[in-house]
Structure 1
Amino acid sequence: MMMMMIMMMMRSVISYLSSSELVAAFQRACGLFPAARAAHERSRVHEGGKKPACREGPSERAANGRPKSEDWSLQYVVKNWPLFFLFVVSTMLGNEVSYISFLPFIHWNLDPFLCRRLVNMWTVVMYIGQVLKDMLKLPRPLSPPVVKLEQRIEFGMPSTHAMAATAIAFTLLLSAPERVKFQFEVGLVVAVVLSALVSLSRLYTGMHSALDVICGNLISALILVVSYPYWDSLDFFQLNNPMSPVIALVVPLMLCYNYPALDHYSDSRGDTTIILGAGAGCSVGYWLNQRLGVTFEPSGPFPVNLPPMTLRIFTFGVARFVVGLSILVLTRQVMKWIVLRVLCWYYDVAVDDVGARRRKEIEVPLKFSTYLAIGLVNTVVVCRVFVLLGLL
């Protein structure tokens, strides 16, 4: 009897946390409302009790809960602009593009050791999150009642934004004391605030339920707790074992080719391939730097004091970021151009055939090799260019 009551309570809590109404209530509390005209059109009922054609029925939704027609999804009213900008910026911080920019910045301007830890955890967490989405196949919040600020075609559970934000923030918090002197309590507050903002932004944008976000946070926390005792051992293996680059290339590539298949096309496989490719490239690059005897890491003794921010340090940091990012963008464009044409020639398809690009035999090697090159260039080439330019 007691077990039945506990099960019923758990079902009730899960149902409440996964409800679209809870997301809509959070949006309204933050000053985000559907436009009056759109709301009126969706609630209007034709004569005879039939709903208007613009209203979505079950058959008008994709498998992931996303409506097949989203023309009305951008019709919203903002009554609290500070919160709007706060959450929009916060959700941008959780995008893959932001991490692919932020992680090299850490490598070039702070410490490659920290970047290595962050890339490793980011890759693992994002892969697990993406696979869980396509295995569980749970829908995103329904609209109406939720206002959608983005268009996504992946499934909802768990929130990979929440997973990545939690993993990045707390991996940095746990790794930094080994290398840099700082007040841990301040770092803890910053980590909690950043991960909370990114997580809440997914509710605000209507992309995830509260359950999606909470599960994302908990899964990341579990991965961190389980893996933390082995970070030093994995770091030593990654840098010194002769098999490290082989494993770093073969395992991610196998995971990409064996990604869970769906009955419709989704960005998930491509996004996961990008992440695994970048992670593999960085891993091989760090191993190669160790072999070459130049890792570009700060000299000890550790932990070191952070130097005071001066105009010279700021200028050099910005210059390194601009030059480095330009090199990575150029690498991406060149590799994508070359690999795409080679693959299209091999499979005898047109370069501009979008459908062909979505085929696994083209999408996986294209994205994996492109971002593998980006990871290698980021870790091996860019810092050497900085030395030649006098920026390092």
Structure 2
Amino acid sequence: MLELLVYLHDPELVARFQRRCGLFLIEAAHHSGLKTRVRNWPLYFLFLLSAGLGHEFFYITCLPCIHWNLDPFLCRRLVNIWTLVMYVGQVMKDVLKLPRPLSPPVVKLETRVDAEYGLPSTHAMAATGISFTLLLSATSRIQFQFEVGLLIAVVLSSLVCLSRLYTGMHSVLDVICGALFSAILMLLTYPYWETFDRFQLTSPISPAVALVLPLLLSYTYPELGHYSTTRGDTTTILGAGAGSSVGYWVNEQLGQTFEPRGVLPVPLPTLTANALAIGTARCLVGAVALVGTRQIVKTVSLQALYFWYGVPQSDRNARRRREIEVPYKFVTYTCVGLVNSILVNRVFILLGL
């Protein structure tokens, strides 16, 4: 068993997968650096796109689009599970401190998160959690063929997992453990999804818990001997989850949840040209609202924190300090979550969308 685990964590295994997919590492002249050569462009773009399903751009666009165009209930479930699996995965990384594959022999196509530890792959955790939570939750809300949904969930989660090997950011063991940990978390929490829904929407202490607990978890995130993006990314996720949770509670109290009406499960909306145009318009308007909120609140909160701690505006590294990074990211993405869950659908009504 130990030999198997060592083998699955071997960078040579990832390098062989990359070579079979047509990605090669070429040593530059005079050993001045490393370059890559792509020989299979369809796989290159497929895996880079799949890797993007675990980045902020996907979370700030595609997850809210489910809220705006399909069912806020499904988005709420996805955000809850996404927040849980990502927090557990990020903490496990910084507790276990197992390295990413070495380069060379692996070709690394991403640099932002290279300072993070490897096991488990949070891309694999998020992809597994989101795909199968959507599948399990949608059966009671929307009429669709379960086998087709299962196939889509397996394909999407598999593509994201394989993309982490292709980009050279994780070993096979990292990816397997990520998918397995996510499945275990879903299995353990599934019996309590309905109970948590009722608490989240109806309990008078729900907003306080939704704000205080994630903020506490952000401030008590494990410290490392070097700077890593894990704390900031985790705070971002916890903030978005907190804001969305408070927003869903507010909508429930106002009696306007924007959920499908009628006998559940409802049929899937007919995909006509008019429906496609309206859906696209919703996504564009909503994305502008969320990105605009992010930029405005981020700028204002950073300026306020820089002033409070007497930090010059030119010091870009100051935002890595915990007393600045945690509050500015938490406030920013809490506001993004609030705008997504409360404001955007009401803007749609005003615009006739």
TM-score range, shorter chain: over 0.9
Superimposed CA distance per residue, residues 249-291 of structure 1 (whole angstroms, 9 cap, x where no aligned partner): 0000000000000011111110000000000000000000001
Question: Which residue is equivalent to 1:150?
Answer: 110
Query: What's the secondary structure of 2:109's corresponding residue?
Result: coil
Distance 1:340 1:352 in 2: 12
Out of 252, 260, 269, which is 1:307 matched to?
269
2:36 maps to a residue whose letter is Y
CA RMSD in angstroms, aligned pairs only: 1.1
Alignment of structure 1 residues 363-382 onto 2, 5 Å? 363-382=325-344
Deviations 1:2-35 (A, max 9, x none): xxxxxxxx11000000000100011111111112
- Answer with 361-370 or 81-90: which moved more: 81-90
What amino acid sits opposite 2:97 in the alignment? K
The reply on whether 1:233 has 2:233 as its aligned counterpart is no
Q: In the TM superposition, what are the counterparts of 1:1-392 in structure 2 within 5 Å?
A: 10-35=1-26, 37-38=27-28, 71-72=33-34, 75-151=35-111, 152-391=114-353
* Displacement after TM superposition at 1:355 (Å): 2.4
Distance in 1 separating the partners of 2:318 and 2:106? 35
Q: Deviations over 1:285-305 (max 9, x none)?
A: 000000111001110210000
2:60–2:287: 8 Å Cα contact kept in structure 1? no
SS in 1 for 2:24: strand
In structure 1, how many angstroms separate the alpha carbons of the residues matched to 2:56 and 2:306? 27
- SS of residue in 2 equivalent to 1:76: strand
Distance 2:184 2:128 in 1: 11
- Residue type matched to 2:261 in 1? S
- In 1: Cα distance, 2:86 partner to 2:226 partner: 21
Rounded to whole Å, the distance in 1 between the matches of 2:303 and 2:228 is 23
1:351 to partner: Cα distance: 2.1
**Matched position secondary structure for 2:159:** helix
CA–CA distance in 1 between the matches of 2:245 and 2:270?
Answer: 31
- The structure with the larger Rg is 1
Question: Is contact 2:247–2:341 with CA below 8 Å preserved after alignment?
Answer: yes
Task: Name 1:63's counterpart in structure 2.
Answer: none
Residue 80 of structure 1: how far off its partner (Å): 1.4
Offset, 1:248 = 0.3
Q: Tell me, which stretches of 5 or more residues in structure 1 are unaligned?
A: 1-9, 43-53, 55-70
Q: CA–CA distance in 2 between the matches of 1:379 and 1:144?
A: 45
Distance 1:192 1:94 in 2: 16
What SS class does the counterpart of residue 168 from structure 2 fall into?
coil
Separation (CA, whole Å) in 2 of partners of 1:87 and 1:327:
29
Question: Is the 2:293–2:336 contact (alpha carbons within 8 Å) kept by the matching residues of 1?
Answer: yes
What are the Cα deviations for residues 204-238 of structure 1, in whole angstroms up to 9, with x where unaligned?
11000000000000000000111111101100110
CA distance in 2 between counterparts of 1:358 and 1:30 reads: 37
- How high is the sequence identity, in percent, across the aligned residues? 62
Give the Cα–Cα distance (whole angstroms) in 2 for the partners of residues 144 and 81 of structure 1.
21
User: One-letter code of the match for 1:147?
Assistant: V
- The CA distance in 2 between the partners of 1:96 and 1:326, in whole Å, is 15
Deviates more, 1:246-255 or 1:353-362: 353-362
Q: Tell which deviates more after alignment, 189-198 or 333-342.
A: 333-342
Matching residue's letter, 2:301: V
**SS across alignment from 1:178:** coil
**Which residue of structure 2 aligns with residue 58 of structure 1?**
none
Q: Write the deviation string for residues 33-67 of structure 1: whole angstroms up to 9, x where unpaired.
A: 112x43x866xxxxxxxxxxx6xxxxxxxxxxxxx
Note the residue ranges of structure 2 that are not aligned, 5 or more in a row: none
Kindly provide the amino acid, as one letter, of the partner of residue 187 in structure 1: G
Mapped to 1, the partners of 2:139 and 2:343 lie a distance apart of: 28
Offset from partner CA, 1:320-345 (integer Å, 9 cap, x none): 01011111111111111211111111
| TM-score normalised by structure 1 residue count | 0.88
